[in-house]
């Protein structure tokens, strides 16, 4: 038995106006300090107030949000008693909002208690997710990724009940997204699309979504990166790509690029999308070397080949990933993150432990043995193509 979950998705230009059709009286907005400073949070608050809502802003979410932050946010939500929780921002505020929503509904639970088996029984509030980056797809997924800052590790969990009620994907929110964040988050969406398609939990419902999302990222990311302030079509398509990829992998799962990227990013404190996409071409090569299929489907769907040779298609796909990463000036080795060899060697054992414990490790199309995992990290450090 399997489930397909989706929020109601409102997308395209002017979709923020949907906020004025929402029924309710108290909205608790979870966001980050930058979006408060840029006036984005104030704009959303204004739209809700015009629609008759009392609002409260919790603008304390840091990138890769911590368990401590969501615990604080849940206390504020309990004091305010909203009937809508609004997650406004990139994946960090949206994930924090999901955890806060759960802890508001069930105050006896900690964020670490949320899991697919927990019966959350939401009754007090519904949730709207409004992405301001085009990458994580958190607006459409059941997943929550938090960081345990003491253990320096990411903690991924989720529940089908935590999928937002509504996702509003409006390109006006990403036109001014800085280039670096555009690249990091757009490549995150590509990593979701590819891993969601090739992982062992892929299924008939998620396949088409993942293929379409990959096609959109290859077609529009470079444009959004180069001229995102004026190219509304590229911003719109990247927003749609991220949400579609979220629906795809959210109803399937992910693989090694995420397991290794989570472990690496939490240890060295690097942004999520930059880390998972760093590993994507390498783990794709590793999987193809082991005979894993399905990459050829992606290569054909995005127009790289018409040939049915799976392996050749997969290798063209790896090259296309690397070309796109070069076009958006993405680091393509661990060394290019300016991590000294000694610091990397010191961390290697822990990087492997945390990657192996990641919830996405076991759905990879080729699961590495411990020595292979170490070797993978070492090759990515040096930027060497995978030959094993
Ligand atoms: P983010 O939310 O951490 O934001 C990164 C930076 O971009 C922040 O400084 C933020 O203020 C800034 N920013 C956001 N929107 C902006 C805008 N419109 N203009 C200017 N600056 C803006 O980044 P992210 O990559 O979107 O999210 C990463 C988090 O999402 C990680 O914690 C990751 O683990 C999680 N994640 C969750 C899922 C899921 O399904 N729940 C999937 C993938 C990743």
- CB atoms near residue 119 (< 10 Å): 7
Asked whether residue 152 carries a pLDDT value surpassing 80, the answer given is no
Asked whether residue 197 carries a pLDDT value surpassing 90, the answer given is yes
pLDDT mean over 352-368: 96
Q: Give ligand 1 pocket residues (Cβ under 6 A).
A: 32, 34-35, 63-64, 89-93, 95, 132-133, 135-138, 141, 143-145, 173-174, 176-178, 181, 185, 188, 272-273
CA of 147 to the centre of ligand 1 (A): 13
Q: What per-residue confidence (pLDDT) applies to 318? A: 98
Distance CA 70, CA 273 (A): 21
Distance CA 381, CA 337 (A): 9
For ligand 1, atom 11: residue with the closest CA = 34
DSSP 385: P
Q: What per-residue confidence (pLDDT) applies to 191? A: 98
DSSP E strands, 133-272: 143-148, 153-158, 166-169
Rounded to the nearest 10°, the torsion over CA 193, 195, 196, 200 is 160
- Is the Cα dihedral 298, 303, 308, 309 positive or negative? negative
DSSP E strands, 59-208: 84-89, 126-131, 143-148, 153-158, 166-169
Asked whether residue 336 carries a pLDDT value surpassing 80, the answer given is yes
Contact 114, 158 (CB under 8 A): yes
**What tens digit of pLDDT does each residue of 97-145 get?**
999 999 999 999 988 888 888 888 889 999 999 999 999 999 999 999 9
Asked whether residue 153 carries a pLDDT value surpassing 90, the answer given is no
Listing DSSP states for 319-349 in one string gives HHHHHHHHHTT---SSGGGT--HHHHHHHHH
**What tens digit of pLDDT does each residue of 287-335 get?**
999 987 899 999 999 999 998 888 999 999 999 999 999 999 999 999 9
Three-state secondary-structure class, residue 145: strand
**pLDDT averaged over every residue in the chain:** 96
Topology at the third CATH level for domain 179-382: Dehydroquinate synthase-like, alpha domain (1.20.1090)
CB contact set of 279 (below 8 Å; sequence gap of 6+): 256, 257, 260, 261, 264, 380
Q: Which range among 69-83, 141-155, 184-198, 254-268 shows the weakest confidence by mean pLDDT?
A: 141-155
| Same-fold call for 8-174 versus 179-382 | no
Q: Where are the domains of the chain?
A: 8-174, 179-382
**What tens digit of pLDDT does each residue of 244-268 get?**
999 999 999 999 999 999 999 999 9
**What tens digit of pLDDT does each residue of 202-251 get?**
999 999 999 999 999 999 999 999 999 999 999 999 999 999 999 999 99
For ligand 1, atom 4: residue with the closest CA = 90
pTM of the model as a whole: 0.97
Rounded CA Rg of the chain: 20
- CA distances for 213 relative to 87, 168, 176, angstroms: 23, 17, 22
Q: What per-residue confidence (pLDDT) applies to 360? A: 93
CA of 133 to the centre of ligand 1 (A): 6
For ligand 1, atom 17: residue with the closest CA = 177
- CB atoms near residue 152 (< 10 Å): 15
For ligand 1, atom 20: residue with the closest CA = 177
| Residue 378 banded pLDDT, cuts 50, 70, 90 | very high
299-326 burial, b at 16+ Cβ within 10 Å, e below that, comes to bbbbebbeeeebeebbbbbbebbbebbe
pLDDT mean over 14-40: 97
CA of 238 to the centre of ligand 1 (A): 14
Beta bridge mates, 11 = 169
Q: Which own/partner pairs from 76-81 qualify as long-range (CB within 8 Å, at least 24 positions apart)?
A: 76/28, 77/28, 77/101, 77/103, 77/104, 78/104, 78/107, 80/26, 80/28, 80/56, 81/26, 81/124
Domain covering 8-174 assigned CATH 3.40.50.1970 in the classification: yes
Which of 114 and 153 is assigned the larger pLDDT? 114
Ligand 1 pocket mutation, candidates 35, 89, 251, criterion most atoms within 8 A of CB: 89
């Amino acid at each position: 038995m399997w489930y397909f979950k989706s929020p109601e998705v409102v997308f395209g230009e002017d979709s923020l106006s949907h906020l004025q059709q929402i029924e309710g009286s108290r909205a608790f907005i979870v966001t980050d300090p930058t979006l408060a400073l840029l006036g984005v949070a104030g704009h959303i608050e204004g739209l809700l107030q015009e629609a008759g809502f009392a609002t409260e802003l919790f603008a304390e979410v840091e990138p890769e949000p911590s368990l401590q932050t969501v615990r604080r946010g849940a206390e504020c939500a309990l004091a305010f008693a909203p009937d809508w929780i609004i997650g406004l921002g990139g994946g960090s505020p949206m994930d924090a909002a999901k955890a806060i929503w759960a802890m508001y509904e069930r105050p006896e639970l900690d964020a670490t208690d949320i899991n697919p088996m927990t019966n959350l029984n939401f009754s007090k509030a519904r949730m709207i997710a409004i992405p301001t980056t085009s990458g994580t797809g958190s607006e459409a997924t059941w997943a929550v990724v938090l960081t345990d800052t003491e253990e320096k590790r990411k903690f991924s969990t989720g529940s089908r009940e935590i999928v937002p009620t509504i996702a509003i994907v409006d390109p006006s929110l990403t036109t001014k997204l800085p280039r670096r964040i555009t690249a990091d988050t757009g490549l995150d969406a590509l990593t979701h699309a590819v891993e969601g398609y090739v992982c062992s939990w892929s299924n008939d419902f998620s396949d088409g979504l993942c293929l379409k999302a990959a096609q959109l990222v290859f077609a529009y990311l470079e444009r959004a990166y180069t001229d995102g302030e004026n190219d509304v079509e590229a911003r719109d398509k990247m927003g749609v790509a991220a949400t579609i990829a979220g629906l795809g992998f959210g109803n399937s799962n992910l693989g090694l690029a995420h397991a290794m990227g989570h472990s690496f990013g939490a240890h060295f404190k690097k942004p999520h999308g930059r880390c998972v996409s760093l590993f994507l071409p390498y783990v794709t090569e590793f999987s193809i070397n082991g005979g894993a299929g399905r990459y050829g489907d992606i290569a054909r769907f995005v127009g790289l080949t018409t040939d049915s040779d799976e392996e050749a298609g997969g290798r063209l796909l790896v090259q296309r990933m690397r070309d796109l990463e070069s076009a958006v000036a993405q680091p393509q080795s661990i060394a290019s993150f300016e991590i000294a060899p000694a610091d990397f060697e010191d961390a290697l054992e822990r990087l492997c432990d945390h990657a192996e414990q990641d919830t996405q490790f076991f759905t990879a199309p080729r699961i590495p043995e411990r020595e292979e995992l170490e070797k993978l990290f070492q090759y990515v450090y040096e930027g060497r193509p995978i030959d094993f």
